[in-house]
Structure 1
């Protein structure tokens, strides 16, 4: 398996993975990433400002996208990026890939000069919440949530 920056060739697959993950837990509703305008064009969004944004995909030995995770500036908190769109195929879950992707995003955030990572998620995404807590993210009150349906908010100093 390889983790690399997203390309336009990955957009449709990664968008489908994200939407499938959200739909599987009933979060294919307004106020979630399901309806983000860039969800089917992630490479364009992240490539538009590489000094402040990054997105990585994991691909298997056959070149199939297994999932991804990224970061972008989070203007409400100075020196903070938002960890965004961590989604994996069902077959990729439970093998440490989420941990690897988040670790790479944290490393990229430090390289870009961010001092902390913020994230928002939903109580229905229990595995994600467990991962974030295991990796040292601490729960906080909402800070100008970008997705109104989200109900859990975390931050981690880098």
Structure 2
């Protein structure tokens, strides 16, 4: 899968992306005063094949001029009904405020809907104000039962199956 948005390339994860993705996510977390948790909330970045690819999910990376500047992923979960969780949606500062985050979210939603899922769950933390605004303006509704220790907000969006 290769998608383009302006001069950004969005493509499927490759094992060679592991170090760059981990470093990027760690630096973005630090920007907001949050810690990198390689054995907790961020374990999935180090084990993409196990946590996403082998479970029916996808993990995408975003490049600009050959440099990894973002990630976005989802995988099926037991919460809800026929549900997935969007995770690891991060963009370096240079890629923000250009509509890329909204584009990524829309592309994730389209991929998720095409696979027949009915619910999308997202957990985040209040300090990530840009993410909170994006999710709320994209039709995600506040829910309860945050499962990730670092997070304090959970959202859900119910997809409508047009074939029904």
Task: State the Cα distance separating 1:5 from its structure 2 match.
Answer: 0.9
User: Could you report, residue by residue, the CA deviation over 1:13-32 in whole angstroms, capped at 9, with x for unpaired residues?
Assistant: 111111111111121066x9
Aligned counterpart, 1:27? 34
Mapping of 1:105-120 within 5 angstroms? 105-120=108-123
State whether residues 71 and 82 of structure 1, in contact with CA within 8 Å, keep that contact through their aligned partners in structure 2: yes
State whether residues 80 and 119 of structure 2, in contact with CA within 8 Å, keep that contact through their aligned partners in structure 1: no
- Pairing partner for 2:61 from 57, 77, 102: 57
Q: Which has the higher contact order (CA 8 A, sep 6+)?
A: 1
What value does the CA root-mean-square deviation take over the aligned residues?
2.0
Aligned counterpart, 1:48? 54
After superposition, the Cα gap between the structure-2 partners of 1:4 and 1:41, relative to the gap in structure 1 and judged at 3 Å, is: same
1:2 and 2:5 aligned? no
Aligned counterpart, 1:151? 152
User: Could you report, residue by residue, the CA deviation over 1:58-114 in whole angstroms, capped at 9, with x for unpaired residues?
Assistant: 112x22111011101111212110011101111111111111111111111112221
Aligned counterpart, 1:135? 138
Mapping of 1:84-103 within 5 angstroms? 84-103=87-106
State whether residues 26 and 36 of structure 2, in contact with CA within 8 Å, keep that contact through their aligned partners in structure 1: no
Distance 2:126 2:36 in 1: 15
Aligned counterpart, 1:69? 72
User: What is the DSSP-based 3-state SS (H/G/I as helix, E as strand, rest coil) of the residue aligned with 2:75?
Assistant: strand
Consecutive unaligned residues of structure 1, counting only runs of 5 or more, are none
User: What is the DSSP-based 3-state SS (H/G/I as helix, E as strand, rest coil) of the residue aligned with 1:48?
Assistant: helix
Distance 2:72 2:40 in 1: 15
Q: TM-score, normalised by structure 1?
A: 0.86
1:39 and 2:45 aligned? yes
The alignment covers a number of residue pairs equal to 152
Task: State the Cα distance separating 1:154 from its structure 2 match.
Answer: 0.4
